Structure 1
Amino acid sequence: MAKANQPTLQAVLKSLPWKQCREVSYDRTRGHGRKETRSVRALTITDLELD
């Protein structure tokens, strides 16, 4: 996830077809007294224009 101080990166990430992507890695751990869940998704981008 991109932070709010990187609006161009946020816009590009938001425009990607995430619903067509399947999860490639899913991890649940416990750290610092809380449960953490991470998922990693991968997309193949063949044509991407950045302004």
Structure 2
Amino acid sequence: MTQKDVITILAIIGALVVLGFVLRVTFALLGPLLIVALGYIAYTMLRKDGGR
């Protein structure tokens, strides 16, 4: 195994670790983000409806 192979394997392992961390953070924030988005949509709909 050459040095290039070792660097490639380490890069793949590092990319998988970073991807796992990003996915964990994304799914942890998905619930609160969804609630904020629904609140914003409701607010804009009520604001438009009240402006008539």
Greater per-residue strand proportion: 1
TM-score (structure 2 length as normaliser):
0.26
Greater per-residue helix proportion: 2
Larger radius of gyration: 2
TM-score (structure 1 length as normaliser):
0.26
